[in-house]
Amino acid sequence: MATLSIHAVSKIFAGDTAAVDAVSLEIADGELVCLLGPSGSGKSTLLRMVGGFEQPTVGSIAIDGQDVTRLPPEQRPTGMVFQSHALWSHMNVFNNLAFGLKLRRRPKGEIRDRVEAVLDLVGLKGYDRRMTHELSGGQQQRVALARSLILEPKILLLDEPFASLDQHLRERLREEVRDIQLRLKITTLFVTHGQDEALSMADRIVVMRNGRTEQTDRPEVVYRNPLTPFVAGFIGTMNFIEGKVETGRFRHADFAVDLPVADGPVTLAVRPEALDLVPADGVRQATVNRVTDFGTHGLVDLSLSDGTRIKSLVRRPGPFHPGQGVGLKPRAFAAFRDTVKLYGAIDAEPADQH
């Protein structure tokens, strides 16, 4: 289908606020890339610049090698799905989908066939005569997706398309969208602030913060090998424990662990599933605050003596109870000093403990 190249793109709004700051990104043909970040990280602004709804202050955007930086949205080979569906409420489903084709003066027969085909693709066959307000939220979002796909854009842009839907519908729709994207092999840029969405759908994730790219990698790499404390904390749940390294050993008031880095202050990052809990054996390293049983696993909330709250994911929560003293045994961890990663990966599975 198409490739997308974003080269050193910045967007500076009035008052010198850089919503997007020198972001570069290459998206391969048929790839689905998620822009992930908190509110105000610049992900939607970047997406809107690709769609042509915002003009970059500097930098360039090319689709299939052709510079589209200054082209208005109506002349770009992109299709956008908006968070609010943005369906035209005065038109029925058929007219919503056919509008773009009518503007291009396609023959009536072709319009009818393509509308039917795209409705079939999104699982809404037979809904063409419905008014948009007669559809559920999920159906409306499917129509919005169909409206973008019917014009066969080179790049599909999705701006938090499931944000207004409930959890179950969101999970089902993201699987459907991913299936459609894989079937059509359409190059897709997807904005979300939901890590689950990014991890489950993306070929690559771009984690953004304050208009800049923090890390661009495959989902499993972003999760298991975050390059910055922000990425480590933003994707999944992460325990951060402040301490000091002295002669190759990380020391906290409550426990210590070998860490082969230069002496100095360090933040230890441990995923809950990589933090085993062991019997205290007379040395209480942490105190259990609360135990939550999720059926398939348990989550134990703990406190260290300095007030730091951490979590441990256990296979069986039964043996733990509030007030209990436990020992800590991190199996895999990373270490950061300031924003620089000094050590390790945090890949781990929950141990079969207790």
Partner 1 sequence: MLGKASARGLVGLLLVALPVSLVGWLVIWPIISAVQRTVWRASPDGAGHFDLSSYVFFFSDAYSLNNLSLTLWTTSVCAALLLVVSLPIALYLRFARGRLASYVQALAILPMFVPSVILAYALIRVLGPNGLIDLLLNAAGLPKLRTPYLTPWGPVIGLVWDNIPLTVLILLSGLGAVGNSAIEAARDVGANRRQRLWHIILPQITTSILVALSFAVLGIFSAFTLPYLLGPASPEMMGPYMQRTFRDLNDPVGAVTQAVVTFGFCIVFGLFYVRSVARNQGK
Contacts with partner 1, residue ranges (CB under 8 A): 51-53, 72-75, 78-80, 82-84, 86-90, 99-100, 103-104, 133, 144, 147-148, 151
Residues 101 and 122: beta-carbon distance below 8 Å = no
Nearer to partner 1, 52 or 138 (CB): 52
Cβ of residue 80: shortest distance to partner 1, in angstroms? 5
CB closer to partner 1, 143 vs 231: 143
Q: Which is nearer to partner 1, 44 or 225 (CB)?
A: 44
Is the CB of residue 349 less than 8 Å from the CB of residue 331?
no
Distance of closest approach, residue 231 Cβ to partner 1, in angstroms: 30
| Minimum distance from residue 153 beta carbon to partner 1 (Å) | 9
Rank residues 103 and 182 by Cβ distance to partner 1 and give the closer one.
Answer: 103
In Å, how far from its chain's centre is CA 265? 31
Q: Which residues are CB-neighbours of 124 under 8 A, at least 6 positions away? A: 93, 139, 142, 143, 146
What single string gives the DSSP state of each residue in 216-260? Answer: EE-HHHHHHS-SSHHHHHHSS--EEEEEEEETTEEE-SS-EEE--
Give 82 or 94: the residue with its C-beta nearer to partner 1: 82
In the complex, what is the shortest distance from the CB of residue 21 to partner 1, in angstroms, rounded to a whole number?
23
Smaller CB separation from partner 1, 156 or 334: 156
Report the candidate in 115, 117, 113, 76 with the shortest Cα–Cα distance to residue 92. Answer: 115
Query: Which amino acid is it at 257?
Result: V
Give the Å distances, CA to CA, from 53 to 44, 141, 207, 308: 11, 20, 22, 44
CA distances to 11, 43, 57, 211, 295 from 17, rounded to whole Å, are 8, 15, 11, 10, 47
Min dist. Cβ of residue 97 to partner 1 (A): 10
Q: In the Cβ-directed half-sphere of 24, how many Cα atoms lie within 13 Å? A: 3
User: Least Å distance between CB 73 and partner 1?
Assistant: 4
